[in-house]
Amino acid sequence: MTKACRFALPLVLALAATVCSAAAAGYSPLDCTKAVTATEKAICSNYGLGQAEARMSSLYQWATSFVAMGQRGSLQEAQGAFIKKRESCGADARCIRNLYDARIEALEAVMENVKRHGPF
């Protein structure tokens, strides 16, 4: 194994462990096979909303993986608030889409900050 590989392997493993731990950070993506509420069913039956859910979920997992613990708690609280607001939309696709757009924008801003200043 080359010196570069010996150095890179621990970094890759550490990153993978960090990303995997984000799934336990208080949010898991919507499972359409278990959709129960009108909001969940609306998301699962609308391609655009499903794509927004996937984008938001990925951004959330990345963001919670690359920020410090204090900011991670704030992200988790904001995610919980987002879910409550999203559920209040019922089956109103426009309402759901507007909330996803705002949440995605907020998470992209977090990632942009990480990009500029580094993780943690």
Q: Helix H segments across 46-68?
A: 47-66
Task: Report residue 1's pLDDT band, with 50, 70 and 90 as the boundaries.
Answer: low
Judged by average pLDDT, the poorest of 14-18, 24-28, 33-37, 57-61 is 14-18
Give the model's pLDDT for residue 14: 44
Residues found in the chain: 120
In whole angstroms, give the CA distance from residue 39 to residue 87: 6
In whole angstroms, give the CA distance from residue 7 to residue 12: 9
| Residue position matching structure tokens 């392997």 | 9
Give the model's pLDDT for residue 111: 95
Per the model's pLDDT, the better-predicted residue between 10 and 70 turns out to be 70
- So where are the chain's domains? 3-117
Give the model's pLDDT for residue 16: 44
